[in-house]
């Protein structure tokens, strides 16, 4: 799976973590590798192996100056491409530096997120152009939060439509909600970008409420906006990236987006559940600040979340960092999860056999995913749900 992940561009850090040229470098752990991110004097982001090629001192403590990061032990200096620019403790004329190349991953900054490709350069894909490619800085609000479990446990929650009626029921008085939503009909379809999960709920006897959720390879999703009937470009929507730090921890990036610009106050609210180190205020160490009184009287969980991801965090972290799948008992409500696991296993086999897994885009002409959405719509009862896809192209939903 790690090899599969290295076929795609994935988020490495938020642009705000290295806000200006020559600012302090930061630690980045990604796919089990310890790296250092820095922004050079020209504003370019770089991602280097943490340990100096000379004798291993951490470049986290390095001097970020004059278009390179310099190790504080003997002054070796690296550029964003991993070239060794200077080895000042070596005799003049020594060319040891020209024989060396330090580990460096190419970075690309879009929508306030710094992406990287950690695979072989000759296999580097084109970055698909999703909706947020075309949005201005005012229209996006990217945040991230740390999750103490495997990435797959996290993202499976995005494809588990039935849990929303329970875990995210913040109003026990609304008993109708459980009756209506508790057991939706589920479908899953493979697509060019990965998988489409579909949930279909009855609304009274006359109507169906249909929502689709894309799983975008290797581990991205778009969750639907609020349960209104129509897609509204002014709803805040979240493009989500579940990025493995290692096998046991994950960064969840939520790229909030909408047409209307975000005000400063809104930006603060959107990240009010996360501290300055991107750790969640509600976490396993404090039992997610669960309130048993609230659980009895007002909400299903007793976790009064500012963001549903806080309740999801409790559900998925408490399975253990790597859930033992052999002890699960899957049912109908796990239909889309089963489809998702099969699709990922098939993609891993493709990589093992030397092939190209889904959604590795080589041709810029085929990189347009700007209309990819989570779709929601209300249909008359008895209608084929595919009707919600009418008029859409293969990359649209």
Q: Which one of Fe ion, ligand FES, none is in contact with 73 (Cβ closer than 5 to 8 A by kind)?
A: ligand FES
User: What SS3 string covers 247-306?
Assistant: CCCEEEEEEEECCCCCCHHHHHHHCCCECCCCCECCCHHHHHHCCHHHHHHCCCCCCCCC
Q: Could you give the CA distance from residue 26 to residue 61 in angstroms, rounded to a whole number?
A: 9
When CB distances to Fe ion are compared, the closest residue is 312
Tokens 């959604």 correspond to what residue? 359
Give min distance, CB of 40 to ligand FES, in A. 18
The verdict on 312 binding Fe ion (CB under 5 A) reads yes
CB nearer to ligand FES: pick between 59 and 140: 59
Contact criterion met (CB below 8 Å) for 238 and 222: yes
- For 100, 349, 366, the CA distances from 301, given in Å and listed in that order, are 55, 39, 44
CB nearer to ligand FES: pick between 59 and 309: 59
Contact criterion met (CB below 8 Å) for 145 and 278: yes
Q: Which one of ligand FES, Fe ion, none is in contact with 74 (Cβ closer than 5 to 8 A by kind)?
A: ligand FES
CB nearer to Fe ion: pick between 6 and 240: 240
CB nearer to Fe ion: pick between 40 and 312: 312
CB nearer to ligand FES: pick between 57 and 338: 57
Q: Which one of Fe ion, ligand FES, none is in contact with 271 (Cβ closer than 5 to 8 A by kind)?
A: none
The verdict on 334 binding Fe ion (CB under 5 A) reads no
Give min distance, CB of 352 to ligand FES, in A. 37
First-last CA distance in the chain: 25
Residue 52's nearest CA partner among 82, 28, 22, 81 is 82
Judged by the rule CB under 6 A, the positions of this chain that interact with ligand FES are 52, 54-57, 71, 73-76
User: The tokens of 288 are what?
Assistant: 């997610």
Binding residues for Fe ion, rule CB under 5 A, total 2
Which residues would be at the binding site for Fe ion (CB under 5 A)?
157, 312
């Amino acid at each position: 799976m790690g090899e599969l992940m290295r076929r795609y561009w994935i988020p490495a850090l938020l642009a705000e973590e290295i806000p200006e040229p020559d600012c302090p470098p930061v630690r980045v752990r990604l796919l089990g590798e310890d790296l250092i991110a820095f922004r050079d004097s020209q504003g370019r982001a770089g991602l280097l192996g943490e340990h100096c090629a000379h004798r291993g001192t951490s470049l986290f403590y390095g001097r970020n100056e004059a278009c390179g990061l310099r190790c504080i032990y003997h002054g070796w200096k690296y550029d964003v491409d991993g070239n060794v620019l200077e080895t000042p403790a070596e005799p003049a004329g020594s060319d040891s530096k020209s024989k060396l190349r330090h580990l460096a991953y190419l970075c690309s900054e879009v929508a306030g997120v710094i992406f990287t490709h950690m695979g072989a350069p000759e296999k580097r894909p084109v970055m698909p152009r999703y909706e947020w490619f075309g949005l201005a800085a005012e229209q996006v609000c990217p945040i991230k939060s740390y999750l103490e479990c495997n990435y797959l446990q996290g993202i499976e929650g995005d494809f588990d439509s039935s849990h929303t009626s329970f875990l995210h029921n913040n109003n026990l008085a609304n008993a109708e909600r459980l009756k209506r939503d508790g057991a939706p009909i589920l479908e899953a379809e493979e697509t060019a970008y990965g998988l489409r999960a579909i949930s279909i709920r009855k609304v009274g006897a006359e109507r169906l409420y249909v929502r689709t959720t894309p799983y975008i390879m290797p581990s991205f999703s778009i969750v639907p906006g609020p349960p209104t009937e129509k897609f509204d470009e002014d709803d805040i929507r979240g493009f989500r990236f579940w990025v493995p730090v290692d096998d046991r921890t994950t960064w969840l990036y939520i790229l909030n987006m909408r047409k209307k610009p975000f005000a400063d106050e809104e930006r603060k609210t959107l990240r009010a559940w996360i501290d300055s180190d991107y750790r969640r205020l509600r976490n396993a160490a404090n039992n997610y600040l669960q309130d048993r009184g609230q659980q009895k009287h007002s909400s299903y969980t007793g976790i009064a979340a500012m963001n549903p991801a806080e309740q999801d965090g409790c559900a998925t972290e408490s399975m253990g960092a790597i859930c033992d799948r052999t002890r699960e008992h899957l049912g109908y409500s796990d239909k889309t999860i089963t489809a998702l696991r099969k699709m990922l296993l098939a993609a891993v086999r493709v990589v093992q056999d030397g092939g190209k897994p889904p959604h590795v885009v080589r041709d810029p002409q085929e990189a347009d995913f700007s209309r990819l959405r989570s779709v929601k719509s209300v249909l008359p009862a008895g209608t084929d749900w595919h009707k919600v896809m009418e008029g859409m192209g293969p990359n649209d939903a």
